[in-house]
Structure 1
Amino acid sequence: MRAQFLLAHSIHRARPATRSPSQKKRHDEHGARCRNSGTRHNPVGEGLVPSFTSAVDRALPNIEDPNQLIQSPSDLPIPAGFGPIARHWGPRRVFAGTYDDAWATKHAPLWPADLDERFFRAASPGLQAPEHLVGGEPVRLVGLHPDGAIEFAAARLHLAPRSLSSGPAQE
């Protein structure tokens, strides 16, 4: 995470950040100067603006993909972060399937036939596992804590299904 601002047509050198204010707190502190400048990928995002003029003295995004750092106002990288992506935001909505009249008359309220399983992934694309997790996978969080990386194993869940019946047994 790096804290930086665009000042008079250039991005000043990034400073390490140890804390990041919430979206609401950041808006309350900066008021109209920091109005939402989100995109279809992140409608509540900060820092992506259409011109140099509108970018001066504006905070850049709190979190960036280290492979797509913003170098100028014309850079519009896909937003990065570790919070969930809402179902109606661009990155997930494209996988939702078709909800047309045919769906409404033949399939509703079930999912449409062309629903893509990726619709159910709320994590940012860079944080999604390529395969289903089973537990025990190593996890390493870098750049999120002032003391350094946080490492642990993903939890293992063991489900034991049970069935209870209040009536007589049926075959």
Structure 2
Amino acid sequence: MKNLEINVFGELQILVDDVDISQTIWASKKKMALLELLILNSQRPMSIARLTEAIWGDDEEINTENALKTLVSRLRKDLEENGLEGAILTVPGGYMWNADLPAKIDVFRMEEICNALSDANSLDLDVRDQFEELLNLYTDDLLPDSSLSKWIAPKSVYYHNLYLKTVYRY
């Protein structure tokens, strides 16, 4: 299996075996939006209705379900061409990021570190190493240039507050 690293603090970055494949997806804002939604919600399926609302809003000019199917197909093709077969799963009523894909996703690692540090009682070497990793992970707000600001903003505020709470505790 390929080594996969996904960074969502700052601009979306996808590294496959240390090669940045992000440019192949940036060509389409809608593909980027779909990928951002699936990655940030990788613990649960995203319904077709929620995805179409987030990506197309109330656009009644197009058949959003068919447009979503086409968009998913194109995104899958891009990911597969870069060695990420099976990254997007079709589930009843929607789609989801394949959580079984061994990926390092910065936002989830940051949350894991913050939760571990909230239980820390002393500043031993392990705790200091975790703080250093936290400082290296949180380089910017969550996807600040995303076209999905309405959907991203609450998560961005949550992660920013979690980061501040953890750093202030240090």
- TM-score, normalized by length of structure 2? 0.30
Structure scoring higher RCO (CA < 8 A, sep ≥ 6) equals: 2
Radius of gyration: which is bigger?
1
- TM-score, normalized by length of structure 1? 0.30
